[in-house]
C-alpha cells in the first residue's frame, strides 16, 4: 500500500462573517475536497467488473486490488471527506458542501464543483446538492426576517468553448467581458430575480431541459457541457433600509457540473461526440493546469484565460470565494485510469487556497457618512492629545525614543571596539612594515609574476596541469587576506578539508586544507588559525615541482603535426615520441608508474590523514624551512604538481591559480579530492576540449597552446614571436567569428604574460634566476621565493573611496600610457579597458597588467637602444608594430561587416575622416587607440568592442586575464572596498 496522502487542513475554519459585518479582510482557506464513490452500475455488473475502491473511513479511500504493475502507485488517498457508494447525496451535501454553499448568505462568494469522468455521478450529485442548498438558503432567509434578501438566478453552459445562456432560447454564444471591478462577466446573460423557491425550481427545470446532453458508450444521458448555475444573494438589514447608513452584503454561489473528464477513446466518442470531447478536455485540461499551478503556490503565471471555464470561474479558483469540489468516481476496475486521474486532480485541488471575503456594498450616502465619521475622529484626536488613542501614540513614541537611545549606546560601544581593533591593526602593520619595506622591491618583482615564476622555473614547467598548493598561515590579518583572496580565486569550487593539527601548540586549531590544481580545479587550502609564533612576514615560499606536467600531454596532442612551429630538440622529440605511445594507451608504463606511485602515496597521506599523522600539511607547516609538499597526484596522471608551502616565519603565501583555463576547470570540477586524483587523466582531454577548442591544424593555435605550456622553452625573441602569432590568432579568430575572440584574447594575454615573465627572469640576478630554473632530480624544480611582504590590501583598507577611485584612475592612465608605449594589441586594450572599471577586485588585475607592461617597456627600451646602435628596426618593437598594423586591418575589415553605412558615416564624422576621402575605413581604423587621453580611449574601446562583437563583459572574462579574485563578502561589507593602491600578491 502506498503512502497515504496528508489530510488537508480542516476547511471552513474561517466561517462566514456574521451578517452586517464590516466586510473585506478575507483569509486564506483551502478548497474543501471530497470524493464520492458511486455503486457499480448495471453495465459494470453485467461485465463482471470488480469494485476496486473502498472508503475505509471518513477521509481515506484505498485501492483494494494489488495488481503487480500498480505496485508503484499510491494505494491510499486522503481527503477532507470521502463518501462510499452507500452514502446518500444528503450526506454528501451536509458534509462536503453545505457550509461552503451557505456562505453566500453571509456575503461570501462560494462555488461547488462536481468533477469526474463520465457516468461517475456528477450530475446526480450536483442536482441533489443544488436542491438541498436552495432549500437551506430559503430556510435561512425565513429565519432571518430582520434582513431583506434579493435573490437572482442565472445559468449558463460552456459547450464546445462557447458560452450559452440556459435561461434563454437564443443559442447565440455569449461574450466574456473584463470588468475592472467585477472581473470576467458574461455579456447579456439573463439574470432572473427570484420570486420564491418555486420560481427557482422552475428555472432549474428549464436549465436541465436546455443543457446539451448526448449518449456516449458510458452514459446514455451524458452531460456534454460544463454547466454553471449561479445564485446571487444580496441582503440588507431592514432596520437601515432607506437610511443613509445602509449597506448591503452581496455574494453568489455557483453550482458547477463539469462535463466528463474521460478520454475520448474511453467514451468511444466519434464525430460530434469526439469534437465535444476535444473542447471538454481542453477546458478541463486548463482547469487541471490552473489547479496544479495553484497547488504549488501562486508564483508565476496562472493560465486562467486559457479557457472560458477557468476565466468565468477564476474567483472560485484561488480568488475571492469559498470552494468545495466533489470528485465523483466509479469503483469499477475498468475505469481505474480515470479514477486515478480524478484522485490526482483531487489531491492537487486540496492544496489550493482561496481568499474569500465578505462583500459589502455601501450606498454612496453610507460611504460619505462613514468617511465623515472617520474624519471627525481624527480631528478630535488632534485637538485633544489626552484622548485614549493619543495616549497610546505617545507611549509608542516614548518606547521608540528609548529604543533609539539604546541603539545609540550600542553603536557607540561598537565604534569604540572598531577603533580599538583598527589601532591594533595599525600596530601590527607598522611592526611588519619594516620588513615589508626591506622586501618590497623584491616582492614587487615576485608578486607580478608569482605564478609565472613557478611555471617558468621548470624547463617545461608551463603545464596546464600544474598543481599549485597554497599554504597560508595567518593571524587575523592573514585570515582576512586568506578569505579575501581565496574566496575570489576559487569561486567556492573547492573542497575544504578540516583536520586537527596534532602539534601541541596548535592542537586545538582547526586547519583548513585546500589544494589547488590547475588542471583539476581541485583546491586545498591550508590555514592555521593560530600560528606558533607571531609571524610577521612571508619569508619563504618553497615550491616544489613534484612531477612532470601535462605539457607533455599537450605536446603529444600535436606530436603528429608536421607544421609545428616549435623548434623541438631531439630530446624533446624523443620524449614526446615515448609519451605519445604511453599516454592514453598504457598509463602504467614504468616511468609513469614510478611517478604516480610516489605521488599517489603522498596524496593518500594528504587527503586521508590517519589520526596519528593528522594532516601531513600541518606537520609540514610547523617544520621550519622545509620544502614540504602537498603531494597531489592521481594514479594515472603524469601531471606536474607544485606545492607551495612556507617556513615557520611565513606570514602568508599564496599561489594564484592563474589562467582562464584552470579557472574554468575549477568551475567544472566539484569532485572530492580522491576522486579527482583518480579521474584526473581522463579529464584533461575533456577540459582541453571544452575550454580551449583550438584548431590543432592551425599552427597559430598550436603555437599558442604549446607556448602556454612551456614558456621556458622560448627565448625572449621567441616569446615576442609568440605574441606575434597570438595576435595573429586573435585577429584571424575575430575575423572568422568575433565571439571566439574572447577566449583567444585569453590566450593572447597569456602569451603576453609569459613574455613579460620571461623578461623578468632575465632581469633577475643570476643566483635567483638559477634557483628558479634549476631542475631538481625527480620531478623538476625547486623554487624558493624569500622575504615576501605583507599584503598591502589590508594596509589600504582604510583608504577612502574617493582616494581609491583616484588611485584606480591613476593606475588606469599609467596602463593606458604603457599600452601606447608598448604597442599593445588594440583588442587586448579594449577588453582590458572595458572589463576593469574600478571594482575592488580590479585592482589586482590592474596591478598585474601594470607590472607586466613595465617589464615590456623595459624590454622595448633595451631593444630600441640596441636597434639604434644597429641602425635598423627589428625585434620586439618591429614585431609589435606589425601586429598593430594587422589588427587595424582586421578592424577595417570588420567595419564593413559590423557597421551599417549610416553608422559608418556618423563615425567618420566623429573621428574627423572626410566623407569624400578615400579608404575611409582604413583611415578610421588607423585613428583608434592612437592617443592616451581618456575620451579618445573610451571612444576607441567602444568602437573596437563594437567591431569585434564584444558584449557586456562578465566576471568570466576577467578571469581570462589570468587571475580571479573575489572579495570575501565580509570584507566587502565591512570596509566598502574600492580600488586599492599598491596591491600586490602575498
Ligand atoms: N451515487 C450514486 N448512486 C446511484 N446511482 C448513481 C450514483 N451516481 C450516479 N448514479 C447513476 O449513474 C448514472 C450516471 O450518472 P451521471 O449522469 O450523474 O454521471 P455524470 O458523471 O454526470 O456523467 P456525464 O459526465 O456523462 O454527464 C446515472 O444513471 C445516475 O443515476
Distance CA 656, CA 489 (A): 7
Bridge partners (DSSP) of residue 51 are 332
The alpha carbon of 394 is separated from its chain's Cα centroid by a whole number of angstroms, namely 47
Pairing type for strands 510-517 and 467-473 reads antiparallel
pLDDT in the model for residue 377: 84
3-class SS of residue 354: strand
Region 634-639 average pLDDT: 37
Task: Tell me, yes or no, whether 692 and 587 share the same domain.
Answer: yes
Where is the domain boundary, 790, 823, 854?
A: 790
Task: Tell me, yes or no, whether 775 and 810 share the same domain.
Answer: no
- What's the farthest any 2 CA atoms get from each other in the chain? 119
Unique residue bearing C-alpha cell 487542513 = 9
Q: pLDDT-based confidence at 983, cuts 50/70/90?
A: very low
Highest mean pLDDT among 44-58, 560-574, 965-979: 44-58
Ligand 1, atom nearest to 223 Cα: 27
Ligand 1 pocket mutation pick from 86, 119, 218 by most atoms within 8 angstroms of CB: 119
Task: Tell me, yes or no, whether 803 and 766 share the same domain.
Answer: no
pLDDT in the model for residue 656: 34
The alpha carbon of 770 is separated from its chain's Cα centroid by a whole number of angstroms, namely 48
Whether residue 543 lies inside any domain: the answer is: yes
Asked if residue 13 has pLDDT above 50, the reply is no
Going from the C-alpha of 145 to that of each of 18, 223, 250, 748, the distances in angstroms are 15, 39, 17, 91
Task: Tell me, yes or no, whether 783 and 805 share the same domain.
Answer: no
Q: How many residues in total does the chain contain?
A: 986
Region 705-727 average pLDDT: 42
Structural contact between residues 93 and 326, judged by C-beta atoms closer than 8 angstroms: no
Task: Tell me, yes or no, whether 520 and 591 share the same domain.
Answer: yes
Whether residue 429 lies inside any domain: the answer is: no
Asked if residue 266 has pLDDT above 50, the reply is no
Asked if residue 860 has pLDDT above 80, the reply is no
Unique residue bearing C-alpha cell 441582503 = 235
Residues in contact with 610: Cβ distance below 8 Å, sequence separation at least 6, in sequence order: none
| DSSP per-residue string spanning 786-804 | EEE---HHHHTTT--HHHH
Task: Tell me, yes or no, whether 208 and 277 share the same domain.
Answer: yes
Is 247 a known ligand-binding residue? no
Task: Tell me, yes or no, whether 148 and 276 share the same domain.
Answer: yes
Whether residue 167 lies inside any domain: the answer is: yes
Pairing type for strands 32-37 and 322-329 reads parallel
Point out the least confidently predicted range of 630-639, 722-731, 755-764: 630-639
pLDDT in the model for residue 194: 94
Distance 222 CA to ligand 1 centre (A): 9
266 touches ligand 1 (CB under 6 Å): no
342 touches ligand 1 (CB under 6 Å): no
Mean pLDDT over all residues of the chain? 65
Point out the least confidently predicted range of 213-217, 317-321, 455-459: 455-459
The alpha carbon of 174 is separated from its chain's Cα centroid by a whole number of angstroms, namely 46
Residues of the chain with pLDDT > 70: what percent?
Answer: 50
Asked if residue 673 has pLDDT above 80, the reply is no
Is 120 a known ligand-binding residue? yes
- For 414-471, what is each residue's pLDDT tens digit? 999 888 888 888 888 887 765 555 555 554 454 444 434 433 333 333 333 333 333 3
Bridge partners (DSSP) of residue 159 are 162
Region 807-830 average pLDDT: 89
pLDDT in the model for residue 600: 37
Region 776-798 average pLDDT: 37
Among 252, 335, 322, which residue's Cα sits nearest to residue 80? 322
Tell which wins on pLDDT, 762 or 300: 300
120 touches ligand 1 (CB under 6 Å): yes
Q: pLDDT-based confidence at 874, cuts 50/70/90?
A: low
Distance 44 CA to ligand 1 centre (A): 13
Distance CA 20, CA 362 (A): 11
Bridge partners (DSSP) of residue 483 are none
- For 350-378, what is each residue's pLDDT tens digit? 989 888 888 887 777 777 777 888 888 88
Region 758-768 average pLDDT: 50
* Strand residue runs (E) in 577-625: none
pLDDT in the model for residue 852: 85
Task: Tell me, yes or no, whether 784 and 834 share the same domain.
Answer: no
39 touches ligand 1 (CB under 6 Å): yes
Asked if residue 836 has pLDDT above 70, the reply is yes
Distance CA 251, CA 321 (A): 9
Ligand 1 pocket mutation pick from 219, 221, 257, 281 by most atoms within 8 angstroms of CB: 219
Region 219-233 average pLDDT: 81
Q: Residue 291 maps to which CATH number?
A: 3.40.850.10
Point out the least confidently predicted range of 300-314, 422-436, 713-727: 713-727
223 touches ligand 1 (CB under 6 Å): yes
Angle (deg, nearest 10), helices 741-763 and 699-709: 50
pLDDT in the model for residue 406: 92
Task: Tell me, yes or no, whether 905 and 986 share the same domain.
Answer: yes
Asked if residue 63 has pLDDT above 60, the reply is yes
Ligand 1, atom nearest to 38 Cα: 1
Asked if residue 280 has pLDDT above 70, the reply is no
Task: Tell me, yes or no, whether 663 and 714 share the same domain.
Answer: yes
Pairing type for strands 641-646 and 467-473 reads parallel
Where is the domain boundary, 775, 790, 805?
A: 790
pLDDT in the model for residue 97: 95
Whether residue 609 lies inside any domain: the answer is: yes
User: In this structure, which residue's CA is closest to atom 31 in ligand 1?
Assistant: 124
Is 894 a known ligand-binding residue? no
| DSSP per-residue string spanning 34-78 | EEEEPPP-HHHHHHT--B-EEE-SSSEEEE----GGGTTS--EEE
User: In this structure, which residue's CA is closest to atom 14 in ligand 1?
Assistant: 119
pLDDT in the model for residue 845: 81
Highest mean pLDDT among 165-174, 531-540, 651-660, 775-784: 165-174
Distance 294 CA to ligand 1 centre (A): 29
* Strand residue runs (E) in 258-367: 322-329, 353-358, 360-362
pLDDT in the model for residue 873: 59
Task: Tell me, yes or no, whether 36 and 57 share the same domain.
Answer: yes
Asked if residue 473 has pLDDT above 80, the reply is no
Asked if residue 146 has pLDDT above 80, the reply is yes
How many helices and strands (H and E) does the chain possess?
32, 27
Distance CA 411, CA 417 (A): 10
Asked if residue 803 has pLDDT above 90, the reply is no
Whether residue 397 lies inside any domain: the answer is: no
What residues make up the domain containing 109? 24-364
pLDDT in the model for residue 946: 86
Unique residue bearing C-alpha cell 574572447 = 742
Where is the domain boundary, 330, 364, 398?
A: 364
Is 118 a known ligand-binding residue? yes
598 touches ligand 1 (CB under 6 Å): no
Which three three-digit cell numbers place residue 929? Answer: 587607440
Asked if residue 933 has pLDDT above 70, the reply is yes
Ligand 1, atom nearest to 328 Cα: 21
User: In this structure, which residue's CA is closest to atom 16 in ligand 1?
Assistant: 121
Is 752 a known ligand-binding residue? no
Whether residue 387 lies inside any domain: the answer is: no
pLDDT in the model for residue 245: 63
Q: pLDDT-based confidence at 979, cuts 50/70/90?
A: very low
972 touches ligand 1 (CB under 6 Å): no
Helix then strand then coil, in percent of the chain rounded to 5, is 50, 15, 35
Distance 29 CA to ligand 1 centre (A): 30
Q: pLDDT-based confidence at 948, cuts 50/70/90?
A: confident
Task: Tell me, yes or no, whether 986 and 878 share the same domain.
Answer: yes
Whether residue 174 lies inside any domain: the answer is: yes
Number of independent structural domains in the chain: 3
Whether residue 880 lies inside any domain: the answer is: yes
Going from the C-alpha of 984 to that of each of 761, 805, 843, 971, the distances in angstroms are 18, 17, 9, 17
Is 119 a known ligand-binding residue? yes
Long-range contacts of 97-100 (CB under 8 A, 24+ apart): 97/32, 97/129, 97/133, 97/324, 97/326, 98/132, 98/133, 98/136, 99/11, 99/12, 99/15, 99/32, 100/11, 100/12, 100/32, 100/322, 100/323, 100/324
Distance 38 CA to ligand 1 centre (A): 8
124 touches ligand 1 (CB under 6 Å): yes
Amino acid at each position: 500500500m502506498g503512502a497515504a496522502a496528508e489530510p488537508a487542513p480542516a476547511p471552513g475554519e474561517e466561517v462566514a462573517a456574521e451578517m452586517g459585518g464590516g466586510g473585506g479582510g478575507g483569509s486564506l482557506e483551502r478548497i474543501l475536497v471530497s470524493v464520492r464513490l458511486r455503486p457499480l452500475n448495471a453495465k459494470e455488473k453485467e461485465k463482471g467488473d470488480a469494485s476496486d475502491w473502498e472508503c475505509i473511513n471518513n477521509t481515506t479511500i484505498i485501492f483494494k486490488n494489488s495488481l503487480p504493475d500498480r505496485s508503484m502507485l499510491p494505494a491510499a488517498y486522503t481527503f477532507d471527506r470521502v463518501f462510499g457508494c452507500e452514502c446518500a447525496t444528503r450526506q454528501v451535501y451536509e458534509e462536503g458542501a453545505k457550509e461552503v454553499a451557505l456562505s453566500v448568505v453571509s456575503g461570501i462568494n462560494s462555488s461547488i464543483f462536481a468533477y469526474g469522468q463520465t457516468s461517475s455521478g456528477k450530475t446526480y450529485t450536483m442536482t441533489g446538492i443544488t436542491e438541498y442548498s436552495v432549500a437551506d438558503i430559503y430556510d435561512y432567509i425565513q429565519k432571518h426576517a430582520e434582513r431583506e434578501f434579493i435573490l437572482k438566478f442565472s445559468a449558463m453552459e460552456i459547450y464546445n468553448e462557447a458560452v450559452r445562456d440556459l435561461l434563454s432560447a437564443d443559442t447565440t454564444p455569449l461574450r466574456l467581458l473584463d470588468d475592472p471591478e467585477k472581473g470576467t462577466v458574461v455579456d447579456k446573460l439573463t439574470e432572473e430575480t427570484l420570486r420564491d423557491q418555486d420560481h427557482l425550481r422552475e428555472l432549474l427545470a428549464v436549465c436541465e431541459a436546455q443543457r446539451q446532453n448526448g449518449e456516449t458508450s458510458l452514459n446514455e444521458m451524458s452531460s456534454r457541457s460544463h454547466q454553471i448555475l449561479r445564485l446571487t444573494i444580496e441582503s440588507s438589514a431592514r432596520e437601515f433600509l432607506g437610511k443613509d447608513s445602509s449597506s448591503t452584503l452581496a455574494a453568489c454561489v455557483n453550482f458547477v457540473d463539469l462535463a466528463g473528464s474521460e478520454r475520448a477513446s474511453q467514451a468511444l466518442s466519434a464525430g460530434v461526440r469526439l469534437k465535444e470531447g476535444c473542447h471538454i478536455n481542453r477546458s478541463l485540461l486548463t482547469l487541471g493546469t490552473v489547479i496544479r499551478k495553484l497547488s504549488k503556490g501562486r508564483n508565476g503565471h496562472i493560465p486562467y484565460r486559457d479557457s472560458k471555464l477557468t476565466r468565468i470561474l477564476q474567483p472560485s479558483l484561488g480568488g475571492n470565494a469559498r470552494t468545495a469540489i466533489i470528485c465523483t468516481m466509479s469503483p469499477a476496475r475498468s475505469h481505474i485510469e480515470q479514477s486515478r486521474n480524478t484522485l490526482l486532480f483531487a489531491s492537487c485541488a486540496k492544496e489550493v487556497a482561496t481568499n474569500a471575503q465578505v462583500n459589502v456594498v455601501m450606498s454612496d450616502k453610507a460611504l460619505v457618512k462613514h468617511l465623515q465619521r472617520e474624519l471627525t475622529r481624527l480631528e478630535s484626536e488632534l485637538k485633544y492629545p489626552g484622548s485614549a488613542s493619543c495616549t497610546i501614540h505617545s507611549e509608542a513614541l516614548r518606547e521608540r525614543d528609548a529604543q533609539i537611545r539604546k541603539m545609540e549606546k550600542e553603536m557607540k560601544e561598537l565604534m569604540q571596539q572598531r577603533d580599538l581593533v583598527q589601532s591594533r591593526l595599525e600596530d601590527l602593520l607598522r611592526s611588519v612594515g619594516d620588513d615589508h619595506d626591506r622586501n618590497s622591491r623584491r616582492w614587487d618583482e615576485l608578486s607580478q609574476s608569482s605564478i609565472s615564476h613557478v611555471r617558468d622555473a621548470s624547463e617545461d614547467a608551463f603545464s596546464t596541469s600544474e598543481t599549485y598548493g597554497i599554504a597560508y598561515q595567518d593571524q587575523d590579518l592573514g585570515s582576512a587576506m586568506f578569505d579575501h583572496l581565496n574566496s575570489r580565486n576559487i569561486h567556492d569550487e573547492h573542497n575544504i578539508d578540516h583536520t586537527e593539527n596534532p602539534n601541541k601548540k596548535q592542537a586545538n586549531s582547526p586547519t583548513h586544507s585546500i589544494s589547488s590544481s590547475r588542471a583539476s580545479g581541485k583546491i586545498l587550502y591550508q590555514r592555521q588559525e593560530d600560528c606558533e609564533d607571531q609571524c610577521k612576514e612571508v619569508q619563504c615560499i618553497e615550491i616544489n615541482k613534484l612531477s612532470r606536467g601535462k605539457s607533455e600531454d599537450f605536446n603529444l596532442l600535436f606530436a603528429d603535426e608536421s607544421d609545428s612551429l616549435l623548434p623541438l630538440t631531439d630530446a624533446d622529440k624523443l620524449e614526446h615520441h615515448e609519451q605519445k605511445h604511453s599516454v592514453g594507451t598504457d598509463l602504467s608504463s614504468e616511468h609513469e608508474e614510478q611517478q604516480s606511485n610516489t605521488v599517489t602515496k603522498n596524496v593518500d597521506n594528504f587527503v586521508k590523514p590517519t589520526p596519528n599523522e593528522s594532516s601531513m600539511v600541518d606537520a609540514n607547516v610547523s617544520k621550519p624551512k622545509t620544502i614540504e609538499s602537498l603531494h597531489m597526484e592521481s594514479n594515472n596522471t603524469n601531471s606536474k604538481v607544485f606545492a607551495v608551502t612556507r617556513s615557520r616565519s611565513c606570514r602568508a603565501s599564496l599561489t594564484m591559480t592563474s589562467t582562464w583555463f584552470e579557472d574554468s576547470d575549477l568551475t567544472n570540477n566539484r569532485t572530492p579530492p580522491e576522486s579527482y586524483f583518480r579521474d584526473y587523466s581522463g579529464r584533461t582531454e575533456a577540459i582541453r576540449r571544452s575550454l580551449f577548442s583550438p584548431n590543432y591544424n592551425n599552427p597559430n593555435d598550436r603555437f599558442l597552446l604549446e607556448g602556454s605550456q612551456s614558456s621556458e622553452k622560448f627565448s625572449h625573441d621567441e616569446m615576442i614571436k609568440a605574441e606575434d602569432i597570438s595576435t595573429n590568432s586573435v585577429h584571424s579568430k575575430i575575423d572568422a567569428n568575433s565571439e571566439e575572440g574572447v577566449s583567444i584574447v585569453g590566450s593572447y594575454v597569456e602569451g603576453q604574460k609569459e613574455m613579460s615573465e620571461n623578461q623578468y627572469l632575465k632581469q633577475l640576478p643570476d643566483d635567483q634566476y638559477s634557483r628558479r630554473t634549476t631542475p631538481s632530480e625527480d620531478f623538476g624544480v625547486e623554487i624558493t621565493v624569500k622575504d615576501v611582504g605583507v599584503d598591502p590590501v589590508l594596509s589600504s583598507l582604510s583608504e577612502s573611496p574617493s582616494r581609491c577611485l583616484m588611485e584606480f584612475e591613476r593606475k588606469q592612465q599609467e596602463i593606458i600610457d604603457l599600452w601606447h608605449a608598448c604597442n599593445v594589441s588594440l583588442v587586448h586594450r579594449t577588453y582590458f579597458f572595458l572589463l576593469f572599471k574600478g571594482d575592488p577586485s580590479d585592482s589586482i588585475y590592474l596591478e598585474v597588467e601594470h607590472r607586466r607592461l613595465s617589464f615590456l617597456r623595459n624590454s622595448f627600451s633595451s631593444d630600441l637602444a640596441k636597434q639604434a646602435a644597429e641602425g635598423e628596426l627589428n625585434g620586439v618593437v618591429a614585431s609589435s608594430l606589425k601586429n598593430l598594423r594587422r589588427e587595424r586591418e582586421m578592424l577595417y575589415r570588420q567595419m564593413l561587416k559590423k557597421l551599417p553605412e549610416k553608422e559608418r558615416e556618423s563615425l567618420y564624422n566623429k573621428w574627423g575622416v572626410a566623407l569624400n576621402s578615400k579608404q575611409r575605413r582604413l583611415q578610421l581604423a588607423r585613428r583608434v587607440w592612437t592617443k592616451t587621453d581618456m575620451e579618445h580611449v573610451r571612444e576607441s574601446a567602444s568602437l573596437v568592442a563594437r567591431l569585434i562583437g564584444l558584449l557586456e563583459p562578465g566576471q568570466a572574462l576577467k578571469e581570462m586575464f589570468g587571475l580571479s579574485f573575489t572579495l570575501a563578502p565580509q570584507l566587502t561589507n565591512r570596509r566598502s572596498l574600492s580600488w586599492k593602491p599598491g596591491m600586490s600578491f602575498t
